[in-house]
């Protein structure tokens, strides 16, 4: 719900900016002496801005409705090209209908004869309407592309790249989770490479909504593994980093009929977590991304490797154990001190389980 509000807010803000810029581009300077005699009357800029904002709000809300209608698991499983094309067409058609409807209604209100056909004919033939529609179509396509590209980078990453926040390396406290498909080698041999890849695609599609719900950021996809991260405070707030993992497992169980029918198995994931201070930097030129550097990631990965040995779905480091609040929702038990690969000193490792199946 919170992400839905953000998306609606983004649509409204983008359209309000675009609407007011249209008025400035088209009518700025119309008060000039020469323009007054060409137009015979001054342009009422206050009215133009008011009309632009009305159109912007209506378009923002209607296009948010389009987003909601297309926000289905079946649609999101389509290719990037298909999603961009279909949603862009829906945006453009919806925007055309809204602009024409608003201007026809406006024409009827100011025309005492209340002639619908006259108002419709005038609106469709008006150069102003045509200019506004072409401008709006461009803005719709731009907004759609930006939103879809932002999803492909990962929520929030595109803004960080634009802002240049990590152009110079920064130090941050973060939580990292390495989440991996259990018995992946056996499953791959059973399904074959193509069907196994489709299984991974489905799992990663299903994780998306859960990632957004608990404020996680997807750092990397590595084969059948996902690396997630949270800012420390966001991750420990309301047990977000724990809740994410068990919500994801619950979601896969709810979809068990789908996975068993299509693949003959129910995918099960295991995860390892750690937290600490890392360095964040913008890297690359041809393929630019935000990269995290530090031993925190290596330790989280090594902890995840121990899940099979101890038959535990989620293991965490002592560092994270100390940071997490004791809410009583999760059962946390000490596994012991472990010498992890690449570490000089033993690391305390705890198992986490959900004492309540409904989170």
Whether 140 and 217 map to the same domain: the answer is no
158 is a domain residue: no
Residue 184 buriedness (CB in 10 A; 0-12 / 13-18 / 19+): middle
Tell me: pLDDT of 33 over 50.
Answer: no
Supply 54's token pair.
């009305």
* Per-residue pLDDT at 38: 47
Q: Which of 41-50, 57-66, 108-117 has the highest mean pLDDT?
A: 57-66
* Per-residue pLDDT at 116: 72
Whether 65 and 10 map to the same domain: the answer is yes
Whether 17 and 47 map to the same domain: the answer is yes
Instruction: Identify the domain boundary among 129, 151, 173.
Output: 151
Helix, strand, coil distribution of the chain in percent, nearest 5: 60, 20, 20
Q: Write a three-state SS string for 80-115.
A: HHHHHHHHHHHHHHHHHHHHHHHHHHHHHHHCCCCC
Whether 123 and 196 map to the same domain: the answer is no
Lowest mean pLDDT among 236-245, 279-288, 328-337: 279-288
Whether 62 and 144 map to the same domain: the answer is yes
Whether 169 and 88 map to the same domain: the answer is no
Whether 221 and 349 map to the same domain: the answer is yes
359 is a domain residue: no
Q: Identify the bridge partners of residue 231 per DSSP, sorted by sequence position.
A: 174
* Mean pLDDT over the full length of the chain: 83
> Could you tell me the CA-to-CA distances from 355 to 206, 255, 270, 317, 327 in Å, in that order?
24, 22, 17, 20, 11
191 is a domain residue: yes
Instruction: Name the residue among 277, 327, 338 with its Cα closest to residue 352.
Output: 327
Question: How confident is the model over 243-258, as a mean pLDDT?
Answer: 93
Residue 89: domain span: 2-151
Whether 195 and 326 map to the same domain: the answer is yes
Strand runs (DSSP E) across the chain, as ranges? 170-181, 217-222, 225-231, 269-283, 289-293, 314-317, 330-338, 347-354
Instruction: Identify the domain boundary among 151, 173, 196.
Output: 151
At 254-289, the pLDDT tens digits run 999 999 999 999 999 999 999 999 998 878 776 667
Number of structural domains (the chain) is 2
* 343: CATH: 3.30.70.1230
> Could you tell me the CA-to-CA distances from 357 to 213, 237, 251, 327, 330 in Å, in that order?
18, 20, 12, 15, 10
- CB-CB contact of 148 with 212 (8 Å): no
Whether 61 and 175 map to the same domain: the answer is no
Whether 234 and 311 map to the same domain: the answer is yes
CA distance 297 to 295: 5
Whether 277 and 349 map to the same domain: the answer is yes
17 is a domain residue: yes
At 307-324, the pLDDT tens digits run 988 999 999 999 999 999
Instruction: Identify the domain boundary among 90, 116, 151.
Output: 151
159 is a domain residue: no
Whether 216 and 305 map to the same domain: the answer is yes
Rounded to the nearest 5°, which phi and psi values hold at 32?
Answer: -60, 155
324 is a domain residue: yes
* Per-residue pLDDT at 358: 45
């Amino acid at each position: 719900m919170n992400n839905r509000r953000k998306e609606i807010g983004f649509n409204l803000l983008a359209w309000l900016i675009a609407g007011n810029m249209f008025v400035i581009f088209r009518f700025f300077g119309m008060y000039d002496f020469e323009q007054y005699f060409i137009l015979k009357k001054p342009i009422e800029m206050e009215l133009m801005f008011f009309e632009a904002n009305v159109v912007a709000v209506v378009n923002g809300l209607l296009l948010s409705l389009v987003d909601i209608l297309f926000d289905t698991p079946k649609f999101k499983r389509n290719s990037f090209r298909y999603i961009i094309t279909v949603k862009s067409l829906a945006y453009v058609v919806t925007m055309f209908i809204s602009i024409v409807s608003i201007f026809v209604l406006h024409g009827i209100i100011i025309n005492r004869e209340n002639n619908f056909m006259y108002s419709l004919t005038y609106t469709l033939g008006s150069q102003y309407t045509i200019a506004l529609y072409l401008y709006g179509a461009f803005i719709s396509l731009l907004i759609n592309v930006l939103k879809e590209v932002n999803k492909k980078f990962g929520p929030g990453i595109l803004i960080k790249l634009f802002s240049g926040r990590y152009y110079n390396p920064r130090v941050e406290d973060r939580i990292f989770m390495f989440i991996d498909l259990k018995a992946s080698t056996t499953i791959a041999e059973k399904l074959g490479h193509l069907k196994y890849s489709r299984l991974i695609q489905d799992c990663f599609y299903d994780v998306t909504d859960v990632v957004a719900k608990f404020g996680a950021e997807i750092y990397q996809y590595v084969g059948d593994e996902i690396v997630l991260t949270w800012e420390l405070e966001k991750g420990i707030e309301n047990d977000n980093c724990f809740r994410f993992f068990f919500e994801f497992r619950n979601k896969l169980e709810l979809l068990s009929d789908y996975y068993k029918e299509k693949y003959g198995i129910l995918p099960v994931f295991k995860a390892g977590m750690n937290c600490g201070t890392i360095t964040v930097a913008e890297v690359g030129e041809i393929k630019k991304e935000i990269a995290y550097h530090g031993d925190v990631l290596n330790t989280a990965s090594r902890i995840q490797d121990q899940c099979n040995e101890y038959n535990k779905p989620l293991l965490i480091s002592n560092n994270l154990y100390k940071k997490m609040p004791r809410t009583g929702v999760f059962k946390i038990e000490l596994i012991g001190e472990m010498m992890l690969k690449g570490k000089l000193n033993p690391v305390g490792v705890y198992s986490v389980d959900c004492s309540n199946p409904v989170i």
